[in-house]
């Protein structure tokens, strides 16, 4: 067990260093959430007057949690690409012939995702607090929100890692980034579920990302009594467990 944690630690340190190389590469994943928040909160500001919209909540505050969610969501994009590059360079092959647990390899990469997620989400949160957005559940709620979102970012990054292990093609893995937008916008990210068209509402109901968005929003706006919080944690834990297991399993059918 000590060997597992030692391997995890050294692999995580190596991967975390890649976050800052180059530092300018982080700008798009910070700019996009802030840009969409600024545009949507102004362009759709009249929506908070619509019948059925949560009472006492401004549209700016309604979409503020989505900005944090998006910043953390985007932190998951590089894991698969970097893994494909490690495959191409032969680095991962060297790891595999060494007595290193495959789960330690995966967790080392996911630790990088977690650190980047906290960094990006923290910057966006500070900006939102500066313009007057408040987290109704306080410090504990903020920690819970980051726990939920970081777990989700780690789970989502597994999709790219699975693609990297099975295709060994960095360009194909990179193209999977477009999946972010359908999964994000076919949710309640821009409007409450009861205000969505029927077909859109059905898609949002079956989209697991909806429950993460709603859980995040509940922690920011509505308090601990909202069932969306435990639903969000339940969904993210299932996603994390299933997708991490699939990544570890993908080693068996790749790199032979």
Q: Give the range of the structural domain holding residue 27, as residue numbers without chain letter.
A: 2-253
Enumerate long-range contacts of 128-135, CB under 8 Å, 24 or more apart: 128/37, 128/64, 128/67, 128/68, 133/60, 133/61, 133/64, 133/220, 135/219, 135/220
**Both tokens of residue 49?**
């007057």
In this prediction, residue 159 carries a pLDDT of 87
CA 228 to chain centre: 17
Helices within 168-207 (DSSP H only): 170-175, 180-185, 198-206
* pLDDT tens per residue across all 256 residues of the chain: 668 778 888 888 888 887 766 666 667 777 888 888 888 888 888 888 888 888 888 899 899 999 998 888 877 777 777 888 877 777 777 777 777 777 888 888 899 889 888 988 999 999 999 998 889 999 999 999 999 999 999 998 888 888 888 877 777 777 766 667 777 788 888 888 888 888 888 999 999 999 999 999 999 998 898 999 999 999 999 999 999 999 888 876 665 5
- DSSP H helix total and E strand total for the chain: 12, 0
HSE-CB of 61 using CA atoms within 13 angstroms: 18
- Give the span between the Cα atoms of 145 and 135, in whole angstroms: 10
- Give the span between the Cα atoms of 141 and 130, in whole angstroms: 18
In this prediction, residue 103 carries a pLDDT of 83
- Give the span between the Cα atoms of 122 and 82, in whole angstroms: 23
In this prediction, residue 28 carries a pLDDT of 74
In this prediction, residue 249 carries a pLDDT of 83
- Give the span between the Cα atoms of 161 and 204, in whole angstroms: 25
In this prediction, residue 254 carries a pLDDT of 60
* Closest C-alpha to 252, from 103, 108, 84, 77: 103
- The total number of structural domains in the chain stands at 1
- Give the span between the Cα atoms of 174 and 101, in whole angstroms: 26
């Amino acid at each position: 067990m000590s060997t597992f944690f030692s391997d995890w630690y050294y692999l995580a340190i190596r991967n975390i260093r890649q976050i800052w190389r180059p530092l300018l590469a982080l700008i798009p994943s910070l700019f996009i959430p802030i840009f969409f928040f600024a545009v949507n909160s102004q362009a759709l500001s009249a929506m908070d007057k619509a019948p059925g919209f949560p009472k006492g909540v401004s549209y700016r505050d309604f979409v503020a949690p989505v900005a944090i969610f998006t910043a953390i969501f985007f932190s998951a994009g590089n894991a698969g690409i970097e893994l494909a590059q490690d495959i191409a360079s032969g680095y991962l092959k060297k790891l595999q012939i060494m007595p290193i647990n495959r789960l330690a390899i995966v967790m080392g990469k996911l630790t990088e995702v977690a650190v980047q997620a906290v960094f990006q989400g923290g910057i966006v949160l500070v900006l939102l607090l500066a313009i007057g957005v408040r987290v109704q559940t306080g410090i504990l709620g903020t920690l819970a929100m980051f726990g939920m979102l970081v777990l989700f970012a780690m789970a989502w990054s597994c999709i790219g890692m699975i693609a990297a292990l099975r295709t060994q093609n960095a360009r194909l893995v990179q193209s999977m980034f477009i999946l972010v937008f359908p999964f994000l916008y076919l949710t309640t990210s821009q409007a409450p579920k009861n205000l969505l068209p029927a077909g859109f509402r059905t898609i949002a109901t079956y989209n697991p990302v909806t429950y993460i968005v709603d859980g995040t929003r509940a922690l920011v706006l509505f308090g601990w009594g909202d069932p969306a919080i435990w639903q969000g944690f339940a969904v993210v834990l299932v996603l994390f467990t299933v997708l991490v297991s699939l990544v570890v399993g993908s080693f068996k059918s790749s790199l032979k």
